[in-house]
Each structure stands twice: as structure tokens, then as C-alpha cells.
């Protein structure tokens, strides 16, 4: 399997991610507090700047193609992650998570996502390397997923229906109230999970579901595991800050799901025809930017109309 990621590059990248996570939780956010929009904007800008610097390094070291592949994968992952933000909002509201504890849950959720994504990417890379026809299967799956997203109605997320949450409640004793940032407490000699632990389980389970869509989508852009992994991780690192920045505005992106559906269908179609026709990476990047940018612009320019109040005749 061809890759630009040497053992040294992998080690340095993982070390850098570890340093960022340590600074995040161990230095800047040691104490529970409400993340304000200004703080979220600074962190979001920091993560995007890191991604841009990494893109510049790829272009300088390996040429334009790997850099374009990284940017395309990064945009796809970031865009698909917006759906995660809506789920975060619903889950936090359902469990009545105090605002000052939300950062703690998302931080450990992201740590878990890093491990899960690494496993998904490794498995996907091995499957495609050994069974090339898997790329066509992944592509067909993305096309179907994209079409379902385009024609699906406005569904509501119900955390109570999450099978992982039901399983956890059956086997893990849970205390009825929050205990600060702690996931477990000892009461009357018994070790109990706090509601914050249940929230973390739902967040992790949700990421697994979204990874099923996003990982094959990025393999439609590049087969290089290093680019797939780094584009995923850079997007995930900025996801938490993006949530706190956009939490009050997420309801306005009502056309974004159509843009995401078209992106998945486009990438899936690209994978299906890859055996006969190669879509240039520059064209792919342009189409994806146009679809995502157009759906966001349409959401702002064409706000959703409030339902008309019924009038008695």
C-alpha cells in the first residue's frame, strides 16, 4: 500500500496531536467552565491554521496532489461532522448537561474518536489493498447514503433509542445526579457511573455511526492512509470548538443536509467509476466546495419560514 507517511511522520504527527490534547485539557481547560464564543473562535481558528500549515508542508514536501487530497478530505470530514454537532445539541439537552461540563464530555469523546477512526482507517486501507472491488462497494454505499439524506424527512434524534445507551443502563449502575466532571463516583461502597458517563457513551456511539459514512468518503478522494488519517484528525480536533461557536446558529443550516447528500453521492459515484474514469482531484475539490458553500449560502439567504398560524374561520 503506497503512502507518504513514513514511521517518522506518523510518530511526529501523533506526538503533535498528543501535545495539543494535553494543552487543551491539562493547561487551558483544567477547570470546568462555560466555553464562550470568543474562546471557541480562537481555538477553531487555531485548528484551521494548523490544518493550513500542514497543507502547505504537504505541498512543499510532496507536491500539489497530496496537498489537494488532504484539503478535499479535510473539507468532507469537517462538513460531515456538522451533523455530529446537531446530535451533540440534542444529547446535551436530553441529559440536561450543565454548560460548564460539556467541554469535558466532548474532549474525551474526541480522544475516543481518534482511536476509533484509526481502527476504521486501518481496516479500510487493508480491505481496499487486498480486495480492490471493495472500493466499488464503498462507492455504492455512499451513493445510497447520499440519496437517503437528500430525500429523508426532518427526523428527530432520540437518545433514548440508542441501543448502546440501553445496554449501558442495563449493566452499569448509575447515580441520578451529576458529580462535577467525574464519570464515576463511589457511594456506600459501590462504584457508580454518573450521567456524564452515559452522555460520553452516546457521543462515542454516534461517532461510530458517522465514521461509517465519512471514512469511505475520504477513501474516495485518496487511498493514502496517512492523508486519510491526518485529514480526519485535523477535522475532529476543531469539531468541539466549532460546536461551541455555532451552537446558537445550527438551526439556520437547514439546507446543509442537501449539500452533504450531494457530496456523498458525488464521491460515491466517483468511486464506482474509478475503474474506468479518474476525476481530477482539482475538479473534485471544486465540486465539493461548490456544493457545501451553496447549501450554506442558501440556508442564510433563504431562511426557513415559520409555520403559519391556523386561523379560525
Q: How many CB atoms lie within 10 A of CB 171?
A: 6
Burial label for 139, CB within 10 Å (0-12, 13-18, 19+), is buried
Q: How far apart are CA 184 and CA 191, in angstroms?
A: 7
Strands (E), the chain: 184-187, 190-193
Concatenating the DSSP letter of every residue in 194-231 gives -HHHHHHHHHHHHHHHHHHHHHHHHHTT---HHHHHHH
Q: Could you say which residues of the chain have pLDDT below 50?
A: 307-313
Question: Which pLDDT score, from 0 to 100, does residue 309 have?
Answer: 44
pLDDT at 49: 93
Selection from 248, 280, 231, 240 nearest residue 58 by Cα: 231
- What percentage of the chain reaches a pLDDT higher than 90? 8
Provide the grid cell at 148. Answer: 437517503
d(CA 170, CA 193): 12
Q: Which residues contact 48 (CB under 8 A, 6 or more apart)?
A: 238
Q: Is the pTM of this model over 0.85?
A: no
Q: How far from chain centre, in Å, is Cα 140?
A: 21
Antiparallel, parallel or unpaired: β 190-193 and 184-187: antiparallel
The pLDDT value recorded for residue 310 is 40
- CA 81 to CA 73: how far, in whole Å? 12
What pLDDT shows up at residue 251? 59
Amino acid at each position: 500500500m503506497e503512502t507518504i507517511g513514513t514511521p517518522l511522520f506518523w510518530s511526529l504527527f501523533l506526538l503533535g496531536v498528543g501535545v495539543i490534547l494535553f494543552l487543551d485539557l491539562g493547561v487551558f481547560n483544567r477547570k470546568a467552565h462555560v466555553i464562550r464564543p470568543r474562546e471557541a473562535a480562537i481555538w477553531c481558528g487555531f485548528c484551521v491554521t494548523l490544518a493550513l500549515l500542514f497543507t502547505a508542508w504537504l505541498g512543499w514536501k510532496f507536491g500539489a496532489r497530496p496537498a489537494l487530497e488532504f484539503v478535499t478530505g479535510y473539507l468532507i470530514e469537517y462538513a460531515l461532522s456538522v451533523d455530529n454537532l446537531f446530535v451533540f445539541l440534542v444529547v446535551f439537552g436530553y441529559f440536561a448537561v450543565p454548560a460548564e461540563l460539556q467541554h469535558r464530555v466532548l474532549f474525551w469523546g474526541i480522544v475516543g474518536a481518534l482511536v476509533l477512526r484509526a481502527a476504521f482507517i486501518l481496516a479500510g486501507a487493508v480491505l481496499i489493498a487486498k480486495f480492490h472491488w471493495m472500493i466499488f462497494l464503498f462507492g455504492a454505499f455512499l451513493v445510497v447514503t447520499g440519496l437517503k439524506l437528500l430525500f429523508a424527512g426532518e427526523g428527530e434524534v432520540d437518545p433514548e433509542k440508542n441501543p448502546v445507551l440501553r445496554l449501558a443502563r442495563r449493566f452499569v449502575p448509575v447515580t441520578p445526579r451529576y458529580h462535577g466532571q467525574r464519570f464515576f463516583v463511589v457511594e456506600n461502597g459501590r462504584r457508580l457511573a454518573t450521567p456524564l458517563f452515559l452522555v460520553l457513551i452516546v457521543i462515542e456511539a454516534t461517532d461510530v455511526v458517522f465514521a461509517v459514512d465519512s471514512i469511505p468518503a475520504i477513501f474516495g478522494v485518496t487511498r493514502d492512509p496517512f492523508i486519510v488519517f491526518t485529514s480526519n484528525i485535523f477535522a475532529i480536533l476543531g469539531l468541539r470548538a466549532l460546536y461551541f461557536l455555532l451552537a446558537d446558529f445550527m438551526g439556520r443550516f437547514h439546507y446543509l443536509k442537501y449539500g452533504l447528500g450531494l457530496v456523498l453521492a458525488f464521491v460515491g459515484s466517483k468511486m464506482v467509476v474509478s475503474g474506468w474514469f479518474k476525476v481530477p482531484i482539482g475538479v473534485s475539490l471544486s465540486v465539493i466546495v461548490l456544493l457545501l458553500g451553496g447549501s450554506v449560502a442558501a440556508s442564510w439567504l433563504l431562511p426557513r419560514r415559520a409555520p403559519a398560524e391556523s386561523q379560525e374561520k
